Homo-oligomer: A and B are copies of this chain.
């Protein structure tokens, strides 16, 4: 199933369960978010959504973003520059990030072994992990 159809299906199911409505604005924002295909900020999403429908407001983007996050269509990332960034979550494996502090480039990686060590660390502390965030900041290959 194509990404957008899949995301729309999940989102509309989520909305229905909560007795919320699938408006044209929500549909537009969802599509733009999925098509963005990478990491984007709320501001960027507003910008591209406005291109598809110029009447869409900042408020609606923020409100929709909260719903997309809650429905797990998107995942929120915080790279510590005081701005939140989103990426498609659905059907993707968990991964962590390298963040270049020079050019801002984000590289994803997966490392099952690290996850296992986190779990065993959690066991030691009798802590129940719900989610985690690992970010490695530094210089990428081109900026190195």
Contact = CB atoms under 8 A, between A and B. Distances in A.
Interface of A: 78, 80, 82, 98, 100-101, 107, 109, 111, 113-114, 117-118, 121-122, 124-141, 144
The oligomer's copy count stands at 2
Contacts of A107: 125, 127
A140 B130 CA distance: 11
Contact of A138 (B111, B128, B141): B128
A141 B127 contact: yes
A109 B123 CA distance: 12
Contacts of A127: 98, 100, 107, 136, 138-141, 144
B144 A136 contact: no
B101 A130 contact: yes
Given A111-B117, A127-B98, A127-B107, A122 B144 contact: no
Contact of A136 (B98, B118, B126, B138): B118
Contacts of A140: 125-127
A78 B99 CA distance: 15
